[in-house]
Structure 1
Amino acid sequence: MVTHLEFHNRYMLLQAFEFLGLHMYGETWDGYEAWTKSTTGPKSLKKRSKKLREQILQLDLEIIPLRKKVTLEVNKAEQDRLNNIIAEIQSQINQLHEEYVKLPKDFDMIDSDKERFERRETVYNTIWDAAVMNKFMLFCGQHMIIDLPRWSKEPGFSLNIVLSMVRAPSQIASRRGPVSVEKEQFKSWCFDVPRLVDTLEIVKPPSLEQQAEYHILRIIRENPNLRRDDVIDQVCKILSGLSERACYRAWRKCVPIEKTQPGRRRE
């Protein structure tokens, strides 16, 4: 059983951040973006952080009596009206909380530059949005998949680019862990991200085997009980130019040994 991080097939979060930055910005990307803060300075950052916390607290205070009213209300129409109001307020809370947890940590920042900071925020938000939509999986440690939409709404959560580290909510896992992403899965997704600056080709189109690794991981994630040969069959149908032997090679590269189930018997 593998008990260590497989660095040969994973990017740490900071590496993925740099890879995407180079893809999107080409030579404009100078590698200092992860450590750059807004030119407005730490006071502005603290002020924004405080304001967000106050707004979240105010909405929390508004939602509590509404929830009590719903439990006491016997009229179905009135219950529905109150639940709609609660849902709207909760949506506002979720948006504010997401902005709060995505705020840069000032102690990681060593430089101030407006354009560099804007590049940082664009790339970070692109990774965040893609992870929320399950375009690729973020891992905490070796095997724990980070459920970003759920974790980010819980108290205590934080995601640090510079340290490639996540602090999980206490009710999910009371520990911190290194954050990584499967290389081929991330690169396959990255190739479809639009470039924002005209540049030389930074990311080559993934090979058929690399595409197979992406589809294998996607199918396993969506159907965790499928056996290996069933997954291989699906991938070969998706990638008509890929041989079955190449597909099995891709499987061996990207699927942890302990997750491999025996295939069906061949007649």
Structure 2
Amino acid sequence: MALSDERVFYFLEEAFDLLGRHLYASEWDAQEIIARPCPDPDEGDDLRVELGQQFSALTAEIDALKSAIGKTTNAAEVSRLKGESAVLEERRQDVALKRDALPIAGNLERARYARWQRRETAERVLIDAFKAETLKAWSSRGPSMTQITPDLWRGEVHGFTWYLDLSLAVLPQSISSVRRGVIKIQSDDFHKWRSTVPPIATEAQADLPLEDRATLWFRQFVSDHQGPEPKRDSAIWKIRETFPKLSEAAGKRIWAKNAPSAWKRPGPRRTQVR
């Protein structure tokens, strides 16, 4: 999402996207805003393992009963053992049906769930900021601008509804006669607040080589950058300050491959417009 630094306000959905890219870097695919709740694939895997263990335990009990049947000639005992075996066999079949009915999660299901988790996290971080008033949101319609106060976000006032994907607020009549409005956040306030929010170190990124992690970080730095375009040496210094074990040569490679062409031009630095 290309947003100009000259804009005074961001819509709620834009702030959500900018926060998500800050939190997740390259893992954020901009489809999170349309993500919907879905089951955790790992829960299905755990249940499948549990049912498999139950099936194995019941099989062992049934086999033990069959062995005992083969070792006795007492008709009454044989009848009793067969009855117990039949009960266990019924339980085993029930377990097998439950196990086999579980969906097998593939890459698509795991990607869908991961996207939903990213949405939930980014949304929670943003709304928690509104609740604590570390960031302010406004309902705007024409010349009317009404702050959406923390008590509204916390659900303490009846009649407030908001929609992330529409950037829409519906205010209670007691708050404003202009009930419907577009949710906006001042861009300067947003960037100052976002700079205090630590990115999420995902497991996938943690396993990457140091230079790859530094590259992802620098790309996000370029995307998020506000103000004058940095010079080469100061940008490389910033990369190595963030990743102290990174060599100077690696820092130069990252700059050469990922810095925008506008940053590499000689002459006075301009304010970057994305």
* Larger radius of gyration between Structure 1 and Structure 2: 2
